[in-house]
Amino acid sequence: MNRGIKLDLSKAVPYIQEKEIADMQPDLSIAHDMIENKNGSGNNLLGWVDLPKYYDRDEFNRIKAAAQKIKENSDALIVIGVGGSYLGARAAIEMLSHSFNNVLSKDKRKNLAVFYAGNNMSSTYMYDLVHTVEEMDLSINVISKSGTTTEPAIAFKIFKKLLEEKYGKEEARNRIYVTTDSKKGVLRKIADREEYETFSIPDDVGGRYSVLTSVGLLPISAAGIDIDEMMRGAEDACLEYKVEDLQKNPAYQYAAARNILYRKGKVIEMIVNFEPCLHYFGEWWKQLFAESQGKDNKGIFPASVDFSTDLHSMGQYIQQGLRIMFETFINVEKPRREILIKKDIEDPDGIDFLDGKSMDFINHQAFKGAVLAHNKGNVPVIILNVPELTAYYFGYMVYFFEKSCGISGYLMGINPFNQPGVEAYKKNMLAFLGKPGYEYKKKKLEEILN
């Protein structure tokens, strides 16, 4: 039987006392009710809460069938999306795949290569990506609720043309998979007209909470990852974190702890990993918390660091900079692979005391050293112990942070499920680009700039 992930708040003392957490129970109970009974602000976007138990099994099976087809006829999959439309999938794929999967030769690579487009507007990136994949057999998965978001819309336009020129329109149609709104939107109209295979984004699940829907599951499954195990992990977490009692719910304890620290002036939280494959999990986590809680002039600023790499740069600030931060360490207890340091008899190199030790053992001593050093430097440290990096524990961690984020947002007195500020730059950009109907705004903006 799998054991869950374990939360350790002992290194956040003296900034957080047990009594302070216990005293949060009344507020936690209110937030719990708002989520479980869907009676708080943003309650139209709470479909993720019970998703691991009640997801659409028919669509889930279609996802696995489409993923198998992609694996059979393609060398590479291009995932087109921005923000929540791609970050969750990328977090899972990079966490659970070979670290250098895309550059392995075909005979060594067990799974297809996965590349990402539509998450920026760099012409250099796009040119280089097309140049990299144009000789490969390709499929694409375009993910967008509306189809009008500029970054993925441009990327889809480019890769649709590439596939049609490469395979002809009929065969290209069999290599294009669309994940979008079930009924409306530009992309839905295109998909219906062209008869692309489509998957639906649930109306009641926002982008940053959507990794366990078709948004994330199709590319994750195509990458060779077991999505049945992923959903099993999420379902087990859903059950564990449904308990109202703060003392029995680690997700609620984490939400309470970060709110206590926030009220004491700790306004930056850094998610910390000691495994490079968790880098994009940190990127997904940043979007989840930034879009959910950064509003109404409130919120903890989410940042991420990769240790031990960033201990040689950011480590200086963490140790001796402004005391406005706390850290949440993801401690992976068992590595997916292991390597031993062998003795070099002829060439002593000054680190012979490490001979015979595993790199993972050394990595964990760096973890312990960083925790103690930062603690001594007056940085509160929260530790999340994860048994190992598997599809099961990816699903578990995703649900842990989703539930914590929603609860934490309600504790801050905000709606954690909208993101009104995201639209501001889009409107300005469309005005500068001369989109019809924005002429009045373009003139005002140019006056401001000049």
**Inter-residue contact 330 to 271 (CB < 8 Å):** yes
Residue 215: how many CA atoms within 13 Å on its side-chain side? 28
Which position among 298, 426, 427, 443 bears the catalytic label?
A: 426
Can you point out the beta strands (E) in 161-318? 176-181, 197-201, 268-273, 301-306
Active site residue 269: no
Distance, CA of 418 to CA of 377 (rounded, Å)? 36
**Which residue, 46, 87, 214, is CA-closest to 141?**
214
Which position among 291, 327, 402, 403 bears the catalytic label?
A: 291
- Number of Cβ within a 10 Å radius of residue 13: 12
Distance, CA of 437 to CA of 440 (rounded, Å)? 8
Instruction: Round to the nearest angstrom and report the end-to-end CA distance of the chain.
Output: 65
Distance, CA of 6 to CA of 374 (rounded, Å)? 21
Active site residue 6: no
352: which 2 tokens?
Answer: 């012979």
Distance, CA of 300 to CA of 265 (rounded, Å)? 10
Q: Which residues are catalytic?
A: 291, 426
